[in-house]
Structure 1
Amino acid sequence: MSAKAGQRPTGSLFVQLATLTGLTLVAAETISLLLLFNLPPPNPDFYRLSEIEQTFRGPAPVFTERRPLQIQMAPRPPGPAMEGAATPAIRATLAKDLGVPVDRIVLASKAGPFADRRVFRSIRERIAREGVREEHFLVSPFDVGIRQPDGRWAVVRPQPKFGPDAWQQRIALWFVLSAIAMAPVAYVFARRLSAPIRLFADAAERLGRDPRAEPLVATGPSEIRVAVRAFNDMQERLRRYVEDRTAMVGAIAHDLRTPLTRLRFRIESLPDDQRAKMSNDIDQMEAMISAALTFVRDASRPGERTPLELSSLLESLCDEMAETGASTQVESGEKVVLEGDPMALRRLFSNLLDNAVKFGSRARARVFRDAANAVVEIDDDGPGIPAADREKVFEPFYRREPSRSRQTGGIGLGLAVVRSIARGHGGDVNLVNRIGGGLTVRVQLPL
């Protein structure tokens, strides 16, 4: 990860964001200008007066490239009325050809101000090309209404069009092609800008697994370099804090052995009954000190991690325990390999199997994959653990059974060691009471 960090962009992150925003705006404006100056405007549909008159007489003419005309009855005249230089001539022509008074005809148009000019040029070209006679025309959309003797209005208008027309389809196609052309540029910039975020995500996950991991290389934009230096300082402080606390616990546990040794010599002159009780207490304290020293030593000296197949590890542990008469079993399943500390994981599963046999008569283990994690579940037939104690049992020196008798349990570091090892590998341990009795210990380790 550190080697790749040197390939990340330099300069200010603000400058990169501003550059990306500026390029996006320039590209959008360039595309708009290209469309404006290169794509011809759409030619609106236009209809000659003879086609409109034929619709009033019925049946309406059939068009292949233009929208069909339709006639409808309406209680009111169409509006707003169209007033233009050619309006009186159009109304007079319609009145003469259809045989109705001029005052019964209303024209209403919603065409743009330049539509007539484009259509006029198209008609001129058609006259020159096909030799058809020149006549008045109306540009869609429009309404032509004639008042009937019963007071209602017969209105002719082009049928509404559903969906985009050819010109709109060309515009949409241009925008789609422009988006496809800009996608690689956006992808490159997105990867460059998200690279520092991935760097910190990977570093945070690695720090959770190993506080002694190599510090990040301070490269990239200036803001990222500042953040990297702060992250490295935080990692160093965390490492020193953990090491100081670990060393302190180890020193205390080591120094306690000296007064315990003196106490053991001093109780030799006591009566036998008192000496036996005090000797048991001293033995218990020495066992706790030895367990604490072992815990500190394992936490301060992590082993080298190598590829490890979990099913084989559990099978070997179960075989060793079976030789002493313990009831253990590993269900056959898929082979799951992960990078881990063999000695630490061996101790983790050994503690769990011992607890299952000790408190639940027998142990049944299984290994499987769950997404990007390896999961090991160990079942027993014991009484389970109340919900209020499921987290407390992972605390160092906590025991649900208050005595420190060897027959009823150890000193309370077994599950603390288990969770410490699991979290040191980036995973965790959880306890679940099974329906019908028994406990399931679920160990989850990232592959």
Structure 2
Amino acid sequence: MRLLPKSAFGQTVLLIGMLLLINQVVSYISVTYYFIHPSYQQINSLLAKQVKLVFLEGHNLTDSESRKQLYQATGIRVYDQYQAQQNGLNNSIYYQFLSNEMTQQLGGNSEVRVASGDPYVFWIRGPHDRNLWVMVPMIGVRNTDISPLTIYLMVIGILSVAGGWIFVRRLNRPLKALQQAAFQVGRGHFPKPLKEEGSSEIRAVTRAFNQMSKGIKQLEDDRALLTAGISHDLRTPLTRIRLSTEMLPDDQQWIQQGINSDIEDMNEIIDQFINYVRQDQQEKVETANINKLIEEVVKSRDREDDHYIALELDEIPDVEVRKVAIKRVLDNLLENAFRYGGEQVTIRSGYNKKARMVFFELRDHGPGIAEDQIENLFQPFAQGDKARGSLGSGLGLAIIKRIVDMHSGEITLYNHPQGGLVATVCIPASKSKSNYQSNPNSE
């Protein structure tokens, strides 16, 4: 179990709290040693002098009249053991520290007890007569549950920690906004320039981030414009070539078919380029059920007799997605599975309650991919050439990765132990569905 916080906010608050705790302990010890301890010594010295006065030679402490005169003059009473017990000795508390001090003051074994009340009462038994107790009232000493010193230190500590917490929170607020903006830029979204606030260092970092975000957006816009222009310019000569093939004589139809097939491949590659730069960000986010999207995509492929799709769909909660984009993910994964993995594909869905993630996975029954190539497959123009051929532009999985990242999800590829490649896509479930009870068999 990790007790130390990982965030700078938590570490700073913990550091301030530890320093304040050490300061409080040192202050408490210092005040006790330099103020409270001397005060108790002075009180003990005063009590010892009063006891010595009581036991001065010539005083008859057994005479009730003498005790009465002593009480009227000083407020001090002298009791024997029985009388002391009758007048509250049993309700007093023995203090070792005061007793040791009193022993040194009186030059013999002494005992000091204190009874709380209004006023405080000190019971002292000196070395002169062990059967006599001297009761000395201390007016002005009050009983409190928590000493003023402790209350003072607690208030100072709470105010200091609260002030440190407010300071660190104000310091971390622009960092948190910077973190969220960085996540958005990483997913292809470009937020408005962040407000420059906080310390001078954080202002400088925020200013640099705004410039970086602006530069990345400009690069993305230029790339999209360039790709769209190239794609448009390529389609025009391809269309002319297609029209020209229509003029070939009947005995050269095989040439026409070959050219048209190449044109279709080129159009498909152009479409992939356009899809890669578009990122489907214009589509509206909606609440949808992944199972229904899977069924719609599978239904559109029912017309292909040579393909078989097995469905293993568990009950899952709804998610916030761009439906057309997710259907494109499913369709691209199915296309790759049929192209490289054979005629049979299995689609499975479920809900991971612990991680609050809805997932679906597609498994083909092909040769799979070498483990050292899987990590790079999501890079643009990367292909698993050695195991699965080299058709296409290599943008299919890169497009899928962008769409999944746009949904704050994850996509992974791994080889199934019994053969074939498995693609797993996880998407966070809607917050409103957090109380959903998952299937016991789901992961």
TM-score range relative to shorter protein: 0.5 to 0.7
* Higher relative contact order (CA closer than 8 Å, sequence separation 6+): 1
2:205 maps to: 227
Q: Is the Cα–Cα contact under 8 Å of residues 280 and 403 in structure 2 kept in the other structure?
A: no
> Within the alignment, does 1:199 sit opposite 2:177 as a pair?
yes
1:317 maps to: 297
Cα shift at 1:354: 3.8
Instruction: Determine the C-alpha separation between the residues in 2 that align with 1:365 and 1:425.
Output: 20
Per-residue CA deviations over 1:188-207 (Å, capped at 9, x if unaligned) read 33323332322222221222
> Within the alignment, does 1:381 sit opposite 2:365 as a pair?
yes
Per-residue CA deviations over 1:178-219 (Å, capped at 9, x if unaligned) read 756754444333323332322222221222224322332223
Per-residue CA deviations over 1:276-305 (Å, capped at 9, x if unaligned) read 544433343233223323443x32753222
2:414 maps to: 432
Tell me, what secondary structure is at the counterpart of 1:40?
A: helix
Report the count of equivalent residues: 328
1:346 maps to: 327
> Within the alignment, does 1:133 sit opposite 2:113 as a pair?
no
2:3 maps to: none
2:4 maps to: none
Q: Which runs of 5+ in 1 are unaligned?
A: 1-15, 45-63, 68-114, 136-170
2:346 to 348, 363, 366: 363
Instruction: Determine the C-alpha separation between the residues in 2 that align with 1:364 and 1:421.
Output: 19
Instruction: Determine the C-alpha separation between the residues in 2 that align with 1:262 and 1:243.
Output: 29
1:259 maps to: 237
Q: Which runs of 5+ in 2 are unaligned?
A: 1-11, 42-92, 113-121, 130-148, 430-443
1:328 maps to: 310
Q: What amino acid maps onto 1:306 in structure 2? A: E
Cα shift at 1:245: 1.4
1:57 maps to: none
**Residues 24-423 of structure 1 aligned to structure 2 (within 5 Å):** 28=24, 34-36=31-33, 39-40=36-37, 120-121=104-105, 126=111, 130=124, 132-133=126-127, 182-264=160-242, 268=247, 272=252, 274-296=255-277, 298-299=278-279, 301-322=281-302, 326-335=308-317, 337-358=318-339, 359-360=341-342, 361-369=344-352, 371=355, 373-396=357-380, 400=384, 412-423=394-405
Instruction: Determine the C-alpha separation between the residues in 1 that align with 2:185 and 2:313.
Output: 34
Q: Is the Cα–Cα contact under 8 Å of residues 243 and 300 in structure 1 kept in the other structure?
A: no
Cα shift at 1:433: 0.6
Q: TM-score, normalised by structure 2?
A: 0.59
Q: Is the Cα–Cα contact under 8 Å of residues 111 and 126 in structure 2 kept in the other structure?
A: yes
Cα shift at 1:348: 0.9
CA RMSD across the alignment: 4.7
Residues 280, 357 of structure 1: CA spacing in aligned structure 2 closer, same or farther, 3 A cutoff? closer
Q: TM-score, normalised by structure 1?
A: 0.58
Instruction: Determine the C-alpha separation between the residues in 2 that align with 1:132 and 1:299.
Output: 94
Instruction: Determine the C-alpha separation between the residues in 2 that align with 1:252 and 1:119.
Output: 104
Q: Is the Cα–Cα contact under 8 Å of residues 327 and 357 in structure 1 kept in the other structure?
A: no
